[in-house]
Amino acid sequence: MVKIYYDADANLEYLKGKKIAVLGYGSQGHAQAQSLRDSGLDVVVGLRRGSPSWAKAEADGLEVAAVAEACAKADVIQVLLPDEIQGRVYATEIAPHLTEGKALMFSHGFNIHFGQIVPPRHVDVFLVAPKSPGHLVRRMYVEGKGVPGLVAVHQDYTGKAKDIALAYAKGIGCTRAGVFETTFKEETETDLFGEQAVLCGGVSELIKAGFDTLVEAGYAPEMAYFECLHELKLIVDLIYEGGLSRMRYSVSNTAEYGDYMVGPRIINRQTREEMKRVLAEIQNGTFARNWMLENQVNGPQFNAIRKTEQQHPVEKVGAQLRQMMPWLKK
Ligand SMILES: NC(=O)C1=CN([C@@H]2O[C@H](COP(=O)(O)OP(=O)(O)OC[C@H]3O[C@@H](n4cnc5c(N)ncnc54)[C@H](OP(=O)(O)O)[C@@H]3O)[C@@H](O)[C@H]2O)C=CC1
Ligand SMILES: CC[C@](O)(C(C)=O)C(=O)O
Ligand SMILES: [Mg+2]
Ligand SMILES: [Mg+2]
């Protein structure tokens, strides 16, 4: 049975009097740094001098320093830089400051699990991984709620690694929703699988395939956009609140019958076989190797696909339609 920790299991005192360096001020960095600060903890954000993130963090009232400087003064170093550059920044700017008894932490186990970062024995190494995009981590914290999170300890040098990790999870609101104990291996492999097969890769392709099918059959792109993208959020909100059953309770019986008849034709045996192959490539390191190699040559394939995807007609019609819904802008 998986162990779950809530507010009462975590004590912020383990971080009181300690300095926390949050490296990066992107999706997770801005959310975690601000929430830790609002939880009464001492935070410095580590960034590239003069970068857009530096100005943002300063405007949000946070102490900011260059990465090496932040690591030098910190007791706990949270690495919220893009996964693909963590190994390089670790070697040059973080490792020299990992003196005995400090803590090195992550929100994704990629670099530790795939051996891109090998910390010294004399530090704690753990992860606190919110199961949510960063902007919602912050929004939920501000609303007095929280997103679920994962905690895993890779190295416990001080004997206090889990206590410090749970205090950190409390500082960003995760213990309000529940923090689940796991391992770096399990977090890394399930996170990669989820984002590739379902949450990002699976959903994006499903949206485009549905949209293209309707448009190619002569229906208006606006109709196709509402059916295949806009309404998805409303359906997913119902699933999020009460599972598939809640969604199926709320939609019409016609929609529910269509769901049962057609869903398995779209996500069929072949798709499930492919999912198994995708998982195997994550487990045996093929995906990680390809991603690292892609970055060694400055991401030509990644950048080209990103550009093409931004030009897809569903993005063009969506941009126009969302202008009519100004409340979506933020
Ligand atoms: N996105 C998410 O919601 C989630 C992310 N994670 C994990 O969190 C980590 C961070 O991801 P995410 O928040 O998406 O990252 P982002 O890409 O959103 O942000 C990266 C930040 O790092 C800064 N940065 C980039 N290069 C450098 C550098 N060389 N030196 C110093 N700062 C640099 C960027 O600032 P600038 O470019 O302005 O210099 C930016 O502030 C990853 O491990 C990811 O897997 C885990 C759960 C969810
Ligand atoms: C689903 C994508 C994610 O894993 C996340 C927001 O949890 C990520 O890496 O950004
Ligand atoms: Mg994730
Ligand atoms: Mg991820």
Q: What is the DSSP string of 252-274?
A: -HHHHHHHHHHHHHHS-HHHHHH
- Please say whether the beta carbons of 6 and 170 come within 8 A: no
Unique residue bearing structure tokens 């490296």 = 23
Q: What is the share, in percent, of the chain residues with pLDDT greater than 90?
A: 98
CATH number, domain of 34, equals: 3.40.50.720
CA dihedral 237, 211, 269, 110 (to 10 degrees): -60
CB atoms within 10 A of CB 218: 6
Residue of 108, 113, 154, 312 with catalytic role: 108
Instruction: Say yes or no to pLDDT of 329 above 80.
Output: no
Range of the domain at 108: 4-182
In a domain, 36, yes or no: yes
In a domain, 152, yes or no: yes
Closest to 29 (Cα-Cα) out of 17, 19, 21? 21
pLDDT in tens, 190-216: 999 999 999 999 999 999 999 999 999
Annotated binding residues for NADP(+), written as ranges, equal: 25-28, 48, 51, 53, 134
Do residues 38 and 160 share a domain?
yes
> Ligand 3: distance of its center to the CA of 134 in Å?
10
- 135 noted as active-site residue: no
Going by pLDDT thresholds of 50, 70 and 90, the confidence category of residue 55 is very high
Please name the residue whose Cα sits nearest to atom 48 of ligand 1. 133
Closest to 165 (Cα-Cα) out of 4, 2, 14, 7? 14
Q: What is the pLDDT of residue 1?
A: 83
Query: What is the chain's mean pLDDT, rounded?
Result: 97
**pTM of the model as a whole:** 0.97
In a domain, 33, yes or no: yes
Do residues 138 and 261 share a domain?
no
Report angle CA 269, 274, 277 to the nearest 5 degrees.
Answer: 135
Do residues 178 and 62 share a domain?
yes
Do residues 178 and 204 share a domain?
no
Do residues 174 and 90 share a domain?
yes
Going by pLDDT thresholds of 50, 70 and 90, the confidence category of residue 327 is confident
pLDDT in tens, 78-98: 999 999 999 999 999 999 999
In a domain, 44, yes or no: yes
In a domain, 188, yes or no: no
pLDDT in tens, 262-286: 999 999 999 999 999 999 999 999 9
Do residues 156 and 245 share a domain?
no
Domain count, the chain: 2
Unique residue bearing structure tokens 């960095």 = 29
Do residues 147 and 19 share a domain?
yes
What amino acid occupies position 329? K
Q: Interface pTM (ipTM) of the complex?
A: 0.99
Do residues 247 and 119 share a domain?
no
pLDDT in tens, 132-178: 999 999 999 999 999 999 999 999 999 999 999 999 999 999 999 99
CB under 8 Å to 155, separation ≥6 — which residues? 119, 121, 123, 124, 125, 126, 161
Do residues 313 and 177 share a domain?
no
**Ligand 1: which of 32, 53, 128 to mutate, most ligand atoms within 8 Å of CB?**
53
Do residues 15 and 161 share a domain?
yes
Q: What is the pLDDT of residue 330?
A: 62
**Closest ligand (CA of 137):** 1
Annotated binding residues, written as ranges, equal: 25-28, 48, 51, 53, 134, 191, 195, 227, 231, 252
In a domain, 191, yes or no: no
Tokens of 33: 């740094």
Instruction: Say yes or no to pLDDT of 129 above 70.
Output: yes
In a domain, 284, yes or no: no
Instruction: Say yes or no to pLDDT of 325 above 80.
Output: yes
In a domain, 39, yes or no: yes
Secondary structure (3-state) at 125: strand
Do residues 178 and 214 share a domain?
no
Average pLDDT over residues 18-25: 98
Do residues 146 and 213 share a domain?
no
Going by pLDDT thresholds of 50, 70 and 90, the confidence category of residue 326 is confident
